[in-house]
Chain A
Amino acid sequence: MDGYTQLAWYLALGIALGVVVLLIPQLLSPRVRGRQTESTYECGVDTIGSSWMRFSISYYVFALIFVAFEVDILYLFPAALAYPESGWRGFTEVAIFLVILSLAILYAWRKGVFLWQAHRAPQSRSTISESAGAETVR
């Protein structure tokens, strides 16, 4: 059995364990039900509306930059493995790659993503990047 099959077994047994651990209390615990037992927790007052609502877009912008970054960084692992044989050309390529990556941060910075201004510009009806950009370039 090679290492990755073993790892799959660890995952499978982990799932089984997790389920078993959640079954034990079903056997041991009391079952009481009051009027409020199953209500959503909101500091003691009744909940107002559902929680599945629209959410600040700033979070999604981070998710977008992250996806771009993370995938690119994974490419650097094979590059790091092949680095010793690659000579100065390897260094130049890694450097160019990293500089282009850094441009992504620079772009997002200029657009004001990191300043978290979405919440402070309620009057703006334009897209988040535009409104934040207009504010931050100043």
Chain B
Amino acid sequence: MMACVKYQGLCRHFILHSGVLRTIPVAHAGTLKTLHRSFSSEEKESFYGSLTRNFKLMTQEFVTKLKSPNIDTMFDRSRVLWEYKGPESLKEFKVVTDATIGGQSTAKLGISRNNKLLFTGNLNTDVPKDGETVRSGFCTLKTLQQFGSFNRKVEIDLTPFTTLHLRLRGDGRAYMINMYCNSYFTLTHDDVWSYFLFTRGGPHWQNVSIPFSKFFLSSQGRVQDKQSPVDLERVTSIGLTMADAINGEFSLELGSIHVTYDATESEEFVYERYQT
């Protein structure tokens, strides 16, 4: 037994051995990875080009629907949402820092020496001098929104699952995990469900698992009074936020993100939902 394997048993979180996941094929429908045009490309698409592409996509979607690949998710007990498989995997993420509001934090995405995703940067809580911003300092890693045919947002259906798992190696700092959902009303467009992610630091990998029921609702950085559980049918992306208000460099290696069904997780939502 190696020291690092031993460590897994010491982690307080529920353990899921990475070997188990390997045997499970990546589900086709609704995973973060889909066959779509990457919008980062600069060249403009012609009208007929886009029509052809969209119709092709739509046909693909119809065929997938008819083939009913969801049949295996009915029996699946876990699904890999994201896994590092070479530099292509990095394209599924985007990094947002407080530079968007004039802050001075920096962050970047790269490949670590062990061929895993590496999210590094420097957090800076200096408030931009624009006269209205009061607080600053965040770096966010977020999976890109995937679009279906005719620019429909692709939603990931996570209803068969109860727990989110991450395999990572941090530096002792605390992060946040965010889940973003599609919603109908403008007022709820900024809704984010979050939970805290504590890293142990050190040279060993860490398995973290968080039940969806623990995610709490916040909107535009404000924890809401009226809480509700994550809309698991309409999850659009998952993200990580570094915002612990400590100036300094941070680094986090991410191996995989996956979801599982755990029968012992019977609770839908752990926070009180008072009738108001």
A, B co-complexed: no
What residues of chain B have their CB less than 8 Å away from a CB belonging to chain A? none
